[in-house]
């Protein structure tokens, strides 16, 4: 009993020390080039009633100073051999007004992902992973019914979620073995929190703009890493 | 002339063939709109008995998929009636057998459609799409075998000339079948258009297929339906489809030219001419499918005309075979002669 308690205290201390010496990676993703205009979603009458203006595709969502939203920024390399606890808190993907929210999100392997239907109409929830180990499922979800639960044991960027009832509904989930990821906000800003000191390859992955990587050395202070993603057609 | 009963049988066969073509069209709409998985369960629909699913819930993609299932059930019913009708009212053993085959095929096809949904396997979808075309050919053939023309044609022609032309029609029809299998593969991979431009492919006669190019192609795909990523094999399949289309156009033109030198009944001539027109239409629709970014209505029309093109090829081959009667197996001749001698009286109600 004493040994167990001692080990527990040591683990807690180690975690505290690690957190104390961890730092954040912050930055901004900027879009270079002029993106093609977004297209209106072909909503059916039932979904149309849920909107006052016609929603559009979310291929390139930009904000202040061309900040690019929905970029999945994560540590691609530098964590080999390290293992990380699976968060007990579940991530949430909502279906609201016939759209998946958020459009891009992150998740750790084996972490629970709850999919909610906040709409007054039914959806089918259809993740279509392609990496071995992650299972494709297709489940009906009635209005306001219980959240559906998913987990993915293998890393995969991105697992695509779709609704076949409303074939314009998509969400993209980046699944990693570690918790060091972020999704850029409406102005392109991101923050990867509590990264242990080390040398890392950080990748910014935008579904249509592609991937950009850079080397980042994390010490005890917050590190800044900005990225520029180019519009695919201008390449 | 056909007896009254035979006339009704033939009308029913015609109706079954038309319903099957409609079903193929609705199946085409389902894949064109990418809503094949809109109803996740089978044989139930969102937990309901398929036939009791509330109309108020037929929304979005469910409308197309559920309609496809209901029409498929209707075609299943028609095929069952047709098979039973042939079994009890047609004394040609091989026709009865065709009816039985049609019955089992339609049941198998229904199960395949269900498995496509529950097992979530594209391969099953490809098989389902191809079998639909073959089933349609079978129903068209049954309709043709039930016709007055088939039973009573007395036209005699230069058999050697027809025999020498026949392989061209068989080869062309076989290549059309191959083309339809490739088309079904392209549609059931749910990747949209693997090549978005025409006549070039990504601006070249043969597109680059290295990983960097593929990544760029995928980044440039900005369809509302946000298809999955396109892969090199899918692009190769698309290019093969284009290449085979050119071969089919050339072969059909050759068959048409060859048929002009043959003594053929007017009905067969009309079949060959309309076949050539169908193939031309089909090629145009193929181009339009690319240029319209795979608009659902055009892509569906491409599926329907494809099915008709295959069925027409099969019917032409059957008709040519019928004209050179002596090539038909003796047993078959005997049964048909017997039928004609009886004047259909044996099949009167």
B32 to chain A: nearest residue by CA?
A167
Give the highest mean pLDDT range of A43-47, A110-114, B225-229: A110-114
The interface pTM score, or ipTM, of the predicted complex is 0.83
Residues with Cβ within 8 Å of residue B283, at least 6 apart in sequence? B245, B248, B249
Q: What is the largest CA-CA distance in chain A?
A: 66
Q: Is B228 in Cβ contact with A235 (below 8 Å)? A: no
Judged by DSSP in three states, B98 sits in: helix
Interfacial residues of A (vs B; Cβ cutoff 8 Å): 36, 39, 41-42, 44, 46-47, 57, 59, 121-122, 124, 126, 128, 130, 136, 138-140, 160, 162, 164-168, 170, 207-210, 232-233, 235
Q: Is A36 in Cβ contact with B226 (below 8 Å)? A: no
Mean pLDDT within B56-63: 93
Statement: residue B150 has pLDDT above 80: yes
Q: Residues of B with CB below 8 A from A170's CB? A: 226
Residue of B46, B60, B220 with shortest CB distance to A232: B220
Interhelix angle for B4-33 vs B296-323, to 10°?
150
Judged by DSSP in three states, A38 sits in: coil
Mean pLDDT within A59-67: 95
Q: Which of B129, B136, B105, B236 is nearest to B183 (CA)?
A: B129
Give per-residue pLDDT as tens, A70-108: 999 999 999 988 999 999 999 999 999 999 999 999 999
> What is the number of CB-based contacts under 8 A between chain A and chain B?
78
d(CA B267, CA B322): 12
Q: Residues of A with CB below 8 A from B35's CB? A: 164-165, 167
- Can you tell me which residue has the tokens 């992955």? A205
- For residue A66, give the DSSP letter: G
Statement: residue A201 has pLDDT above 90: yes
Statement: residue B175 has pLDDT above 60: yes
Give per-residue pLDDT as tens, B233-291: 999 999 999 999 999 999 999 999 999 999 899 999 999 999 999 999 999 999 999 99
Residue of B39, B222, B224 with shortest CB distance to A36: B222
Mean pLDDT within A200-208: 97
Q: How confident is the model at residue B347 (pLDDT cuts 50, 70, 90)?
A: very low
A122 to chain B: nearest residue by CA?
B57
Q: Given CA atoms B122, B124, B130, B135 in this order, what sign does their dihedral have?
A: negative
Residues with Cβ within 8 Å of residue A109, at least 6 apart in sequence? A86, A152, A153, A154, A155, A175, A176, A177
pLDDT of residue A9: 56
Q: Is B35 in Cβ contact with A164 (below 8 Å)? A: yes
Mean pLDDT within A46-72: 95
Give the mutation candidate from A167, A168, A170 for the B interface (greatest B CB count, under 10 A): A167
d(CA B245, CA B256): 16
d(CA A42, CA A54): 9
**Which of these ranges, A80-84, A150-154, B70-74, B302-306, has the smallest mean pLDDT?**
A80-84
Q: Is A46 in Cβ contact with B38 (below 8 Å)? A: no
B218 to chain A: nearest residue by CA?
A208
């Amino acid at each position: 009993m004493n040994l167990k308690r001692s080990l527990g205290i040591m683990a807690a201390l180690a975690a505290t020390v690690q957190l104390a010496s961890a730092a954040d990676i912050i930055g901004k993703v900027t879009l270079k080039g002029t993106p093609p205009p977004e297209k209106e979603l072909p909503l059916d009458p039932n979904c149309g009633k849920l909107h006052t203006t016609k929603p559009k595709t979310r291929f390139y969502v930009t904000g202040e100073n061309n900040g690019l939203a929905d970029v999945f920024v994560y540590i691609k390399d530098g964590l080999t051999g390290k293992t990380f606890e699976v968060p007990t808190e579940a991530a949430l993907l909502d279906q609201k007004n016939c759209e998946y929210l958020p459009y891009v999100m992150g998740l750790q392997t084996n972490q629970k992902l709850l999919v909610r239907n906040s709409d007054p109409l039914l959806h089918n929830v259809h993740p279509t992973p392609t990496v071995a180990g992650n299972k494709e499922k297709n489940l009906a979800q009635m209005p306001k019914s219980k959240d559906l639960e998913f987990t993915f044991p293998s890393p995969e960027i991105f697992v695509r979620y779709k609704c076949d009832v409303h074939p314009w509904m998509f969400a993209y989930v980046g699944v990693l073995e570690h918790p060091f990821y972020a999704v850029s906000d409406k102005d392109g800003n991101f923050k990867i929190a509590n990264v242990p000191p080390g040398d890392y390859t950080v990748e910014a992955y935008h579904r249509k703009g592609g991937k950009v990587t850079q080397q980042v050395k994390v010490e005890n202070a917050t590190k800044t890493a900005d990225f520029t993603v180019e519009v695919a057609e201008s390449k | 002339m056909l007896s009254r009963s035979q006339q009704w049988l033939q009308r029913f066969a015609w109706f079954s063939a038309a319903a099957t073509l409609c079903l193929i069209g609705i199946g085409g709409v389902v894949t064109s709109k990418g809503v094949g998985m809109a109803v996740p369960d089978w044989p139930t629909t969102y937990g309901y008995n398929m036939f009791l699913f509330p109309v108020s819930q037929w929304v979005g993609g469910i409308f197309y998929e559920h309609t496809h299932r209901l029409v498929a059930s209707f075609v299943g019913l028609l095929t069952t009636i047709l098979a039973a009708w042939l079994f009890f009212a047609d004394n040609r053993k091989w026709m009865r057998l065709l009816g039985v085959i049609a019955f089992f095929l339609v049941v198998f096809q229904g199960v395949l459609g269900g498995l496509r949904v529950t097992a979530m396997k594209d391969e099953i979808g490809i098989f389902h799409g191809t079998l639909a075309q073959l089933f349609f050919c079978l129903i068209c053939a049954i309709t043709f075998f039930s016709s007055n023309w088939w039973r009573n044609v007395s036209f005699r022609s230069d058999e050697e000339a027809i025999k020498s032309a026949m392989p061209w029609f068989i080869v062309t029809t076989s290549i059309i079948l191959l083309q339809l299998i490739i088309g079904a593969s392209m549609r059931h991979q749910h990747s949209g258009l693997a090549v978005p431009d025409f006549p070039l492919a990504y601006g070249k006669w043969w597109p680059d297929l290295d990983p960097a190019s593929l990544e760029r192609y995928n980044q440039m795909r900005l369809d509302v339906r946000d298809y999955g990523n396109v892969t090199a094999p899918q692009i190769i399949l698309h290019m093969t489809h284009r290449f085979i289309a050119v071969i089919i156009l050339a072969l059909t033109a050759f068959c048409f030219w060859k048929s002009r030198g043959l003594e053929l009944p007017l009905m067969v001539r009309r079949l060959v001419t309309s076949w050539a027109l169908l193939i031309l239409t089909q090629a145009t629709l193929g181009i339009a499918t690319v240029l319209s970014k795979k608009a659902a209505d055009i892509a569906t029309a491409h599926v329907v005309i494809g099915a008709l093109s295959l069925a027409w090829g099969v019917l032409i081959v059957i008709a040519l075979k019928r004209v050179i009667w002596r090539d038909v197996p003796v047993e078959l001749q005997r049964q048909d002669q017997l039928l004609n001698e009886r004047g259909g009286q044996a099949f009167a109600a």
